[in-house]
Amino acid sequence: MSATQSVKYVLVTGASRGIGRACALRFAEEGWHVFLNCRSSLEELEKVWQEIQEQLPGQCTLVPGDVGNPEEVRQIFKKIYQLCPCLDVLVNNAGISHTGLLTDMTDLEWQRMMDTNLSSVFYCCRSAVPPMVTRKKGRIINISSMWGTVGASCEAAYSAAKSGIHGLTRALAKELAPSNIQVNAIACGVIDTSMNSWLSPVEREALEEEIPAGRFGTPREAADLVWQTAHAPAYMTGQIIGIDGGYI
């Protein structure tokens, strides 16, 4: 980014690893100021901060906290707005997984899933939107899953949360379109992250055989799509964009 260009700002939630880390690095490569968030993997988050500071042209600021907690989100955005007047892009990536029968899931597990995967999107959008509306410009990109479209056996809560993201994305896109703010979601297939580390080699191979592309996607591929969506034509909004190797 040249000296004549103004700095652009992006918040990436769940930025310590996987897709979130890849997104943070992708924007930093282009000279953006990246706000790095995660709830608990703070050592890993600091490594991302260090990598950006030492190796990439962009700048970054740590804004740790639980985006599934509305008060912590308020504090995160308070810090953000001390450094910039408005986000150019919000990437809602924070998420957890849960595999098991619905009847075995506890109330606490269900609530944690909804808070982290769905309510976090609402809380962050609620804080990010007002300055965007004032400026009549902004992009919101929600990281979702193909299971939000078709559902997955033994992942009922995860599928419900991701389906909720799809509904929120479409509705908020209509609400914000008059203010020239685009809201889209990326429905990821099987991406090679720690979320899938529980798979045995045999299970992994079997899953790869089910994917027409014959492999897992990479975090960088997902991050490249996020970057492209952040720079897509303004008329593209309210879309659920799949990246799943042809799986669905």
171 dihedral zone (left: phi>0; alpha: psi -120 to 50; beta): alpha
217-232 tens-digit pLDDT = 999 999 999 999 999 9
Q: How far is CA 77 from the centre of its chain?
A: 16
Active site residue 158: yes
Residue 1's pLDDT is 45
The bridge status of strand 9-12 relative to strand 59-62 is unpaired
Smallest Cα–Cα separation from 150: which of 99, 115, 189?
189
Angle at 95 between CA 94 and CA 99, to 5 degrees: 170
Q: Are 158 and 98 in contact (CB under 8 A)?
A: yes
Task: Give me the pLDDT at residue 103, please.
Answer: 97
From residue 49, how far is each of 33, 54, 169, 227 by CA, in Å?
11, 9, 29, 19
In the chain, the N- to C-terminal Cα span, in Å, equals 38
Q: Directed axis angle between helix 156-176 and helix 120-135, to 10°?
A: 10
Coil/strand/helix, residue 207: helix
The pLDDT of residue 58 is 96
Distance CA 75, CA 94 (A): 17
State the angle between helix axes of 42-55 and 18-29 in degrees (0 to 180), rounded to the nearest 10. Answer: 20
pLDDT in tens, 62-75: 999 999 999 999 99
Say which amino acid occupies 161: A
Low-confidence ranges of the chain (pLDDT < 50): 1-4
Instruction: Tokens 């979601």: give the residue.
Output: 185
Q: Which of 123, 158, 235, 247 is catalytic?
A: 158
Burial class of residue 209 (count of CB atoms within 10 Å of its CB; 0-12, 13-18, 19+) = exposed
**pLDDT of 5:** 55
Hey, which CATH number is domain 9-243, 3.40.190.10, 2.30.30.40, 3.40.50.1370, 3.40.50.720?
Answer: 3.40.50.720
Q: Tell me how far apart the alpha carbons of residues 174 and 192 are, in angstroms, rounded to a whole number.
A: 33
Q: State the number of CA atoms in the 13 A half-sphere of 120 facing the CB.
A: 33
